[in-house]
Amino acid sequence: MKILVIGGGGREHALVWKIAQSPLVTKLYCAPGNPGTAALAENLPIAVDQLDKLLAFAYENKIDLTVVGPEQPLSLGIVDLFESHGLKVFGPSQKAAFIEGSKAFSKDLMQKYNVPTAAYGVFTDQSEAEAFINRTGAPIVVKADGLAAGKGVIIAQTCLEAVSAVRDMLSGNAFGSAGSRVVIEEFLTGEEASFLVITDGKNVIPLASAQDHKAVFDGDLGPNTGGMGAYSPAPVVTPAIHEKAMQQVILPTVAGMAAEGRPYRGVLYAGLMVKDGEIKTLEFNARFGDPECQPLLMRMKSDIVPVLLAVANGDLADTGIEWHDKAAVCVVMASEGYPGDYRKGDPIQGLERVAELDDVHVFHAGTAAQADKCVTNGGRVLGVTALGATVKEAIDGAYRGVARITWPGVQFRSDIGRKALDRAS
């Protein structure tokens, strides 16, 4: 099989790494890819939003399966475009990807199909939004309705901060058109978990549990990012919580999307808040989480390609996934200043030293090749991911890898996975 992976971040490097292990694969491409994917696939100089060029390549080169990583091409309708030309593709349609593309749609869907979530309001008018904020009180959550690369969520500690966030979004200053409508929610407390499934629109296969770390600094402090690290399994997802996630969140949502004329095929990611044995849904994403994808694929024992192909063919009924008993932890190494302004082009030292470690892999996210060097080229630069017999062993392995890599101003959290250790103690 010839397979094309679309995207150029850490998630896509992990997908390429896992797909490359399949005996079914004869040729692997990645568009646009990065220096990490270049070691496993042929990178193509095509951006993720150049749908016509991606289609032309896939069609002319008789690609057997295209795997879409990021949310942007999904929201632009790449799956519909490819399928209209007879090409097999893994990912939701444009109408189905709207579950991530519009937080207002997602919240309305949850309300309609009785999926537990926070109380909310949707606004385009500043004064109406302010009135809702003042009625609800702080802390309160303000979200840009559209896609904002995982950063369009403000947890406001005061009403004044919330009003300021709404003003920045509705004016277009904060997230452009993504913030032209805002969702304002009650603030939920508890412990977050990432619950991912693969579905063909009818059948559902849950993936292993995971937990992301959104805030930039230790102790979940500072602004939200696209994710500073993740681990799997997540002890907060007990068997009882797993069952509730499936029965109260996933199955009603998959059925609801079908009933709305938006049958969902691909990865469905539910961000959950867990408290006192109950769950509420924070958000849905229409693709693998990043960085959750990295530890999940490190733990996946079985070949991923038959699963991806079964979804593209619309029939998961006879497919399953096996998992390693080991734990996996991913620590994101980021550029100084991220998630704000950051510098690019700093040489990365020590990658070859990490290759000497067993069960540790470096997934490239924001890197570029420059002459004979690998340099920083994004906010989140690398995802150092390790397997271990326990979460503690996986944490130690990941940080051993982190300790061997450096560049000017590198930043990373030192507490990735600590919640799992606290829960086990």
HEC letters along 62-130: CCCEEEECCHHHHHHCHHHHHHHCCCCEECCCHHHHHHHHCHHHHHHHHHHCCCCECCEEEECCHHHHH
Please state whether 48 falls in left (phi above 0), alpha (psi between -120 and 50) or beta.
alpha
Q: Tens digit of pLDDT for each residue in 155-202?
A: 999 999 999 999 989 887 777 776 788 999 999 999 999 999 999 999
Q: Is the pTM of this model over 0.85?
A: yes
Q: What is the number of other CB atoms lying within 10 angstroms of the CB of residue 61?
A: 13
Which domains are seen in the chain, by residue range? 2-96 (3.40.50.20), 119-186 (3.30.1490.20), 191-312 (3.30.470.20), 327-424 (3.90.600.10)
- Residue 190 and residue 172 in contact, taking contact as beta carbons nearer than 8 Å: no
* Spatial separation of the C-alpha atoms in residues 121 and 320, rounded to whole Å: 39
Q: What is the pLDDT of residue 371?
A: 87
- Residue 204 to residues 51, 188, 247, 264, 267: CA-CA distances in angstroms? 29, 28, 11, 11, 10
Here the tokens at position 276 are 């006192």
* Least confident range of 33-37, 175-179, 235-239, 376-380: 175-179
How much is the average pLDDT of 235-240? 96
* Spatial separation of the C-alpha atoms in residues 198 and 316, rounded to whole Å: 9
User: What single DSSP character describes residue 210?
Assistant: B
- The phi, psi pair for 210, rounded to 5°, reads -150, 165
Please state whether 196 falls in left (phi above 0), alpha (psi between -120 and 50) or beta.
beta
- Residue 196 and residue 269 in contact, taking contact as beta carbons nearer than 8 Å: yes
Say whether the peptide bond before residue 339 is cis (omega within 30 degrees of 0): yes
* Spatial separation of the C-alpha atoms in residues 150 and 169, rounded to whole Å: 15
Q: Tens digit of pLDDT for each residue in 329-369?
A: 999 999 999 999 999 999 999 999 999 999 999 999 999 99
DSSP secondary structure letters along 306-317 = HHHHHHHTT--T
Q: What sign does the CA torsion over 385, 386, 392, 395 have?
A: negative
Q: What is the pLDDT of residue 145?
A: 87
What is the chain's mean pLDDT, rounded? 95
Q: Give the burial class of 356: count Cβ atoms within 10 A of its Cβ; 0-12 exposed, 13-18 middle, 19 or more buried.
A: exposed
- Residue 362 and residue 383 in contact, taking contact as beta carbons nearer than 8 Å: yes
Interior angle at CA 168, CA 159 and CA 137, nearest 5: 15
